[in-house]
Structure formats: structure tokens, C-alpha cells
Amino acid sequence: MSSIPMPAGAPVAAPSAALARLRATLDALLPALAALALTVGLFSLAVALAGYNPLEVWGLIVQGGFGDAFAWQNTLQRAAPLVLTGLAVALPAQAGRVIIGNEGALVLGGLAAAALGNLLATSSPLVVWPLMALAGMAAGGLWIGIVGWLRERREVNETIASLLMSFIAIALFNQCVETVLRDPASLNKPSTKPLPDALMLPPLPGLDVHWGLVLGVLAALAAWGVMRFTPLGLALRVAGGNARTALGVGLPVGALTIGACAAGGACAGLAGAVEVAAVHGAANASLIAGYGYSGILIAFAARFSPAGVIPVAILVGGIAASGSLLQRRLGLPDASVTVLLGFAFVALIGCETLRGRSLFGGSGGRRG
């Protein structure tokens, strides 16, 4: 029996619900997939032009970051502050603010924690550790809270203001470390007095990873829960999506924005406090390691999701951890992984133009 031709203009059957969900998921992943492909291509080209085998380099990156238990511990150690600095960008973004100067909040948080730890050197660690964490959070939260206040009260662009405030914070940090808080015994590398051994934060049981990772994961999950399930999270999303609408329904947009900025700064300050208490034992130039700037890439890659910051921070930590292996095996500079992360950030920003477009045609035009 011959098939009956469909008359011209007849309606086409709508795709099934499962197929529609699959298409929507693929469309949502389009910018990330394009950014991944572009990053791999650019870095592979750069490595090949430098005279190295890209496949060998990628293999060593995977091995150095995730190849064995030692690599995983190194990765998680590096990821611990990155979770918090990723949150430092992601939380203000919930209120529509792009903060990129959290490096300053981190170093001031570490400075405040080191100063308080030395002041309470003879007290119980169970008392001093929470106080050091609170001091770091207060310093970082106040610093970035000022940026939010400048944006809401004086209409100063928060992106530029946060970056300038970061430079000021680092200069203030260096001034304090080299003068009033300097340990006289630190001759070649200015530093605060080292914390007593009893106040050094121990690693997690059975691991060479400090408790900052646990604090970061808990903070990220708590922030995700607040954003997803509470009226405060809904208010922040409304304020960040359309401030005029938020004002129209009576939401305190200014307070929400300043609070989100301060919360982000507090996360960065906590990262600095944990680095002092668990890694360095004092506040010195080692704190200025670029963690605050890496948090920008992490938050963008996670689409500013507090929970999404966790896996992205682990991935970035693994890439950073592989730098020493690349240097030992191939003679590549340790900064090669920084180049890779730079390519990733540029690719993410560039591929955001694909956001809202459809892989399958139709009416999937760019959303506003």
C-alpha cells in the first residue's frame, strides 16, 4: 500500500517531552562545549608551536592533577581556597554585581587572622581558630562591602572599583607586614610573627588536605541552599535580574546588593584566614598567589552557581597541580598551566555569545 502524502501546510507533530528536554539541555551546554573545544584547540596549538606533543602534554596534565592519590591530595589542597574565592565572585553575581577584586579581600583576611592569632597565642586553639576565621571574614566582608556601598550610593562601577580596591588592599597589606606587624626575625621575606605550632590547623584525618576544603564546600552548599530554597535567595535573584522590578515590589535592593558583596568578600577573607592557619603560618607575600583572580574563572565557568563552584574549583586545582609535573617531565615552564587557564577564561567569555542559541534551529534566538 502506498503511503498517503501529507498535505501542504499540515502541522508537524511536536517532539516528545523527553526529546525536548534533551534538546534544551544540549542548547544550555552549547557555550560550555564550545569554550572547552576552543580552549583545547588553542592550548594544543600553542604547545605544538613550542615544539611539544599536545597529546603528551594533556596526558601529563591529567596525570599530574588526577592520576593517583598523591595527585588528588595536591589538587584538593589547591582547590580549598579556590572554592571560597569562586564563591566570592558568584555571590555578588546573584545580585547582578561583577566583583573581580577579591585578591585584596583574601590578603586582608589573612592579615587580620595572623594578627589576631598572634595576639591570642596562649589561648586554646578551639577558641582561637573560630575567632581567626571571623576576623578574616570581617576584614574581607568589610572591604568588598565598601565596593557594594559605592555602587549603590555613589553609582561607582563595582567591577573597576573592586579591582582598584584590590590594589589598595595589597599595598596596605605590604605596608603592615613590612612595618607595624613585621616579625624582626623575617629578614629576607617580610612577614608577621609565625603562629605557634599549637595554633596551626591540622590536616583532615588520613589526608594531606586542610580543613579549608571542608569549610569551602559547606559554605558553597549553604549558599546554594539559601539561593534555591529561601525567600532571601528569591529576593536576590529578583534584584539581580531586574532591579526596577525588585524596587517596584518593595524589595530593599541596596541592602541586598551590599549584603551580597559583603558575603562574597567574607568568603575571600575566610580563604585568607585558612591559608594562614593551615598552610603558611604567617601573613606574607606568599598569600598573594592569584587565588582571588582564579575565582573569577571558576565563578564564570560555574555560571555563578554556588554549588557548581565546587567541581570547577577542583578541576582548576588539578590543572594548577599539574604544572610541576610538566616542568619536570618536559621542561615546560610552571606558568604553562596559567596560560591554559587564561585560554579557558577568554574562551568562556567569547562563547557566552552562544547563550540562548539553539543547536536545532527553530526559535532559539538570543534571549535578553
pLDDT of amino acid 323: 92
The three-state (H, E, C) secondary structure of 70-126, written as one string: HHHHHHHHHHHHHHHHHHHHHHHHHCCCCCCCHHHHHHHHHHHHHHHHHHCCCCCHH
The answer to whether residue 227 scores a pLDDT higher than 50 is yes
pLDDT of amino acid 8: 55
Q: What is the mean pLDDT of residues 241-248?
A: 92
Q: Using CA atoms, how far apart are residues 309 and 267, in angstroms rounded to an integer?
A: 13
Q: State which amino acid sits at residue 364.
A: G
Confirm if 339 and 22 have CB atoms less than 8 A apart.
Answer: no
Q: What is the mean pLDDT of residues 205-231?
A: 95
pLDDT tens, 331-366?
988 889 999 999 999 998 888 777 766 666 554 444
pLDDT band at 200 (very low <50, low <70, confident <90, very high): very high
Q: What is the mean pLDDT of residues 312-318?
A: 96
Judge residue 102's burial from the number of C-beta atoms within 10 Å of its C-beta, 0-12 exposed, 13-18 middle, 19 or more buried.
buried
pLDDT band at 25 (very low <50, low <70, confident <90, very high): confident
pLDDT tens, 133-190?
999 999 999 999 999 999 999 999 999 999 999 999 999 999 999 999 999 999 889 9
Q: What is the mean pLDDT of residues 300-314?
A: 94
Q: What is the mean pLDDT of residues 235-262?
A: 94
The answer to whether residue 278 scores a pLDDT higher than 90 is yes
pLDDT of amino acid 367: 41
Task: Indicate the CATH number for domain 53-349.
Answer: 1.10.3470
Domain ranges of the chain: 53-349
Count CB atoms within 10 A of the CB of residue 214. 14
The answer to whether residue 311 scores a pLDDT higher than 90 is yes
Cell numbers of 262, please?
Answer: 559583603
Q: Using CA atoms, how far apart are residues 91 and 76, in angstroms rounded to an integer?
A: 22
Q: What is the mean pLDDT of residues 58-66?
A: 95
